[in-house]
Amino acid sequence: MATFSLMALVSFLMFLLTQPLSSNANLYKTSLFRSKLPEPIHDAPTVYFEVTKDIQTHHKKPCSSLLVLQHDFGQTYGKPPVTASYNPPKTCSNWSKVVLEWTSTCKGRQFDRIFGVWLGGVEILRSCTAEPRATGIIWTVKKDITRYSSLLKQPNNLSIYLGNLVDNTYTGIYHANVTIHFYPPETHGGLDKIHSKRLNYASSFDSLADLILPISRSPPLNDGLWFLVENSTDVQGKEFKIPPNAYRAVLEVYVSFHSSDEFWYGNPPNNYIEANNLTATPGNGPFREVVVSLDGRVVGAVWPFTVVYTGGVNPLLWRPITGIGSFDLPSYDIDITPFLGSILDEKYHSLGFGVTNGLSVWFIDANLHLWLDSRSEKTKGKLFKYKAPAIKPTLVSDFKGLNGVFWTNADRYIDSTGWVKSSYGKITTHVFHGFTYMNEMVFGKNGSMQIVNQKIGNNYGVYAMVPSANIYYMQSFRSFPLYLYTDTVDQDNDTYSFVSNISLGFNTDSFKGARFGFFVEYLRNLQEGEGKMLVKGNLVTSGIASTEQAYKYDSSEGCYFRTVGSKNYTILFDQSGNICGKKLPSYSAVGFGSMPYHLARRAFLASHSHSPHGD
């Protein structure tokens, strides 16, 4: 395995961070850029990829692989989703892992297109296509979809919406295959055994949901199944009803942002737009949050990761290494178990989604994962502590004409505690979610240069206690740093040069534990890119771009790292491995009885005064 100097990469990244980045109006235009660069002599398709760790399976070969769909996405914009019938595998009914594989090829010229994959109305993948070239491209996305096993065990309808337009200029047709791979049981047993071992509440946290309800739009549609949130006052949602014997509920939220809010983190404040009469510039400032409500009451929020799509900022940056999360957009879990008592009445209730300061358009939907008590026909519960203060972002502006500096800050804390009585006993669950947000935005050179320095942090935790003293806890800390520099310089013949530097990070520290053990994991995923291109109209006539990425994952069960760099479609270096130094601890039941147990118990008992820390 080749060695790699992290210090060299860090030095390079720090150099980029100290460098000066186009106004949001020009940044907004970058989503329309299309390449007219000379094509290479060879005709082999270019392989695009997103850097991530492999999905771990205990068996190299699946026990069953189902090709569920083959389709050519040509003139599909504004048409119903493409559908296919799904049936569970007959030869592998007791699986331990399920992997969705999307493989697509394309030739010609085309926009990047967002798409979604739904099974029985439940979204299982949100993704973005790669932008093709004349000699062709190919890319593959693999996603662990084991958590959707309750849907996979029965016949269902698979739906895909990928809105594409083809004409004499934009000729690219996306040829896609969707395959689902099922892996055989591990040595300790597969799916059925996992369910049969649900002997206490703590062990149920590592089990799969018994039922998943789609919180999405229902066909017929000439669009995706996601809701479209068009502005800051728009709230979209759906009514639902749950079985009366549910004892745990987790809402999984999918989010993507487009059109006027594709680059929301670079949107200037409205006072700057009004003072300079920038009527075509998207505004409302750079702060966004997705607010989730249950029967009108805020139960959670998503402060999303700043995914840059494959045509964003500078399309040349993402060839062949795509932006973090662009091929597999993250979903966000919100545990709403404390609120279960209010929806166990076998009546319809509503989940709603809005976007603070939002502009058109946000695609949002959700999946409600439910755990059911097989030994009880009815559970009951009650929410007895709840705090969700209104958010109050602050803005400080200092500008003259088109030049200036803006500081935006925000924080939010949502705290809920409730109990549910089931055959496991009276379980008290405390859920807290703390967010922090900082954005510093600079405009210079009469508005043609823009710098964005932003950091989003969140601290999410779930603590559960039952009278028998069994306890479960999970806590994760996430931070999403972003640095963006763009500069536009007018040239002759209706052309201009566009310079961009970007630094993008997705970092996670998380731990969870119960009487059966303690698990730790962390991820550091940092991407840096710089590029320059000459643009005429919306066509990139010449350009150069380079991207480097350092990915490191470490956990109690193993680790993985990869460092890779590219320049103008060419891979410059690529090192990876699973030797990452000192292994993180994996606490046994004995170890859990000391430090982790008291940590969880102390946090649980002090839940009413817990303050958020997101970094």
Residues 347 and 221 sit within 8 Å (Cβ to Cβ): no
Domain containing residue 472: 6-609
Residue of 255 and 196 predicted with greater confidence: 255
Residues 148 and 119 sit within 8 Å (Cβ to Cβ): yes
| 1 part of a folded domain | no
H helix intervals, 68-175: 149-152
* pLDDT tens digits, 157-175: 999 999 999 999 999 999 9
Nearest 5°: the CA angle 218, 220, 225 is: 45
Give residue 413's Cα distance to chain centre: 21
Q: How many CB atoms lie within 10 A of CB 609?
A: 7
Q: State residue 454's pLDDT score.
A: 99
Residues 356 and 292 sit within 8 Å (Cβ to Cβ): no
Q: How many CB atoms lie within 10 A of CB 187?
A: 6
The residue-averaged pLDDT of 548-555 equals 96
pLDDT cut 90: percent of the chain above it:
76
Q: Can you name the residues that pair with 398 across neighbouring β-strands?
A: 405
Q: State residue 126's pLDDT score.
A: 99
| 261 part of a folded domain | yes
Beta strands in 491-596, from DSSP E residues, in sequence order: 495-514, 517-536, 539-555, 558-567, 570-577
The residue-averaged pLDDT of 73-90 equals 97
The long-range contacts involving 296-301, CB below 8 angstroms and separated by at least 24 positions, are: 296/350, 296/352, 297/339, 297/388, 298/388, 298/414, 299/251, 299/334, 299/336, 299/339, 299/388, 299/414, 299/416, 300/251, 300/253, 300/334, 300/336, 300/414, 300/433, 301/412, 301/414, 301/433, 301/435
| 186 part of a folded domain | yes
d(CA 556, CA 148): 24
SS3 label, residue 144: strand
Instruction: For residue 85, give the nearest of 104, 66, 105, 113 by alpha carbon.
Output: 66
Instruction: For residue 227, give the nearest of 239, 219, 241, 237 by alpha carbon.
Output: 237
For the record, the structure tokens of 475 come out as 């806590």
Half-sphere exposure for 582 (CA within 13 Å, toward CB): 2
Residues 101 and 343 sit within 8 Å (Cβ to Cβ): no
Task: Report the range of poorest mean pLDDT among 87-96, 169-178, 196-205, 532-541.
Answer: 196-205
| 615 part of a folded domain | no
| 330 part of a folded domain | yes
Q: Can you name the residues that pair with 48 across neighbouring β-strands?
A: 139
pLDDT cut 70: percent of the chain above it:
84
Residues 244 and 346 sit within 8 Å (Cβ to Cβ): yes
Is the pLDDT at 593 greater than 70? The verdict is no
Q: State residue 516's pLDDT score.
A: 64
Residue of 538 and 310 predicted with greater confidence: 310
Is the pLDDT at 13 greater than 90? The verdict is no
Is the pLDDT at 33 greater than 90? The verdict is no
Percent helix, strand, coil in the chain, to 5, is: 15, 50, 40
d(CA 462, CA 458): 14
Concatenated DSSP letters of 322-371: PPTTSSS--EEEEE-GGGGGGS-SSS-EEEEEEEET--S-EEEEEEEEEE
Please tell me the pTM assigned to this model: 0.89
Q: How many CB atoms lie within 10 A of CB 276?
A: 16
SS3 label, residue 389: coil
Confidence of residue 470 (pLDDT cuts 50, 70, 90): low
CA distance to 456, 461, 518, per residue, from 510 (Å): 16, 9, 11
| 25 part of a folded domain | yes
Domain count across the chain = 1
d(CA 503, CA 13): 8
The answer for 430, left when phi > 0, alpha when psi is -120 to 50, beta otherwise, is beta
| 614 part of a folded domain | no
Mean pLDDT of the chain: 88
Is the pLDDT at 613 greater than 50? The verdict is no
SS3 label, residue 603: helix
Computed over its alpha carbons, how large is the radius of gyration of the chain?
A: 24
| 27 part of a folded domain | yes
